[in-house]
Amino acid sequence: MGRIKGSAGQMTGCKVYNKNVLRAKAFEVSNPKTPGQQTQRKFFADITALCYDFSDELLRTLFPKKPKTMSRRNAITKQIAACNTMSGSNKVIDFSAIDTLGNASVMDMGVTTCEIEDNQILVTLDANFRENNNLKEFYFFVAVINDTKKEVFIPAYFSTVGADDWSYAAPDNWLSTDSIHAIPFITDAKTAPSDFGTISVTKRPPHTEA
């Protein structure tokens, strides 16, 4: 049909990521404030607030391949939105189900341990994974998920896969009793990176279906 622009009847033509798209005009909603609609709006408001904290540089690192049909921020919003559960009658983010992010190749990394001790987050990669000769010289970083506080913490701090562990100061309000877990991301860097944006994730854990 070629380039579509403007409206015809109940359809409007527009261009989205180099694709011609026809959208139906929205019908008037008689009751836009039903409990279900308000729950859905609150859920997406929480996701939007969470993903707002992801910098453009971090998103380029997590998504080395730019998604074809959406922005990187929309892509990570979609990933996190898939991790949801019901709390009573409310749909909420299930932080315990967030076990990978981005679109790099996936790899079984074994069991990654994570705990808070003396106000430090201590992360240890699986012993067998640390001894992988093909990866031990590459730097990695982690996303630390606090299911108790409902927060995601991703500092620009890097360590080599072959190192003993990864440690970083915990946010002030995090406690040793909080339920936390870490997602490791292997980068393409063999020299210590200074920040996100100039490096790319090459390996990430696969998503585990509940």
In a domain, 181, yes or no: yes
If you search the block for the tokens 């080395």, which residue do you land on?
64
Residue-number span of the structural domain to which 108 is assigned: 34-210
Amino acid at 60: R
Query: What is the per-residue burial (b if ≥16 Cβ within 10 Å, else e) of 118-150?
Result: eeebbbbbeeebbebeebeebbbbbbbbbbebe
Tokens of 6: 């403007």
In a domain, 7, yes or no: no
Please tell me the distance from the alpha carbon of residue 82 to that of residue 92, in angstroms, as a whole number. 11
pTM of the model: 0.82
Q: Which residues pair with 24 in a beta bridge?
A: 11
The pLDDT confidence band at residue 2, using thresholds 50, 70 and 90, is low
Query: What is the per-residue burial (b if ≥16 Cβ within 10 Å, else e) of 90-115?
Result: ebbbbbebbbbbbbbeebebeebebe
In a domain, 128, yes or no: yes
Tokens of 103: 């679109």
Predicted pLDDT of residue 26: 62
User: H helices of 82-146, where?
Assistant: 127-130
Predicted pLDDT of residue 85: 92
Percent of the chain whose pLDDT exceeds 90: 72
In a domain, 4, yes or no: no
Nearest partner of 168 among 137, 135, 141, judged by Cα: 141
Mean pLDDT for 23-41 is: 67
In a domain, 185, yes or no: yes
The pLDDT tens digits of the residues spanning 72-112 come to 999 999 999 999 998 888 899 999 999 999 999 999 999 99
Tally the domains of the chain. Answer: 1
In a domain, 102, yes or no: yes
In a domain, 2, yes or no: no
In a domain, 130, yes or no: yes
* CATH number, domain containing residue 115: 2.60.40.10
Question: Any idea which of 29-33, 96-100, 185-189, 193-197 has the lowest mean pLDDT?
Answer: 29-33
Please tell me the distance from the alpha carbon of residue 72 to that of residue 104, in angstroms, as a whole number. 13
Please tell me the distance from the alpha carbon of residue 88 to that of residue 68, in angstroms, as a whole number. 37
Torsion of CA 58, 46, 85, 182, to 10 degrees: 30
Please tell me the distance from the alpha carbon of residue 80 to that of residue 98, in angstroms, as a whole number. 7
Predicted pLDDT of residue 17: 64
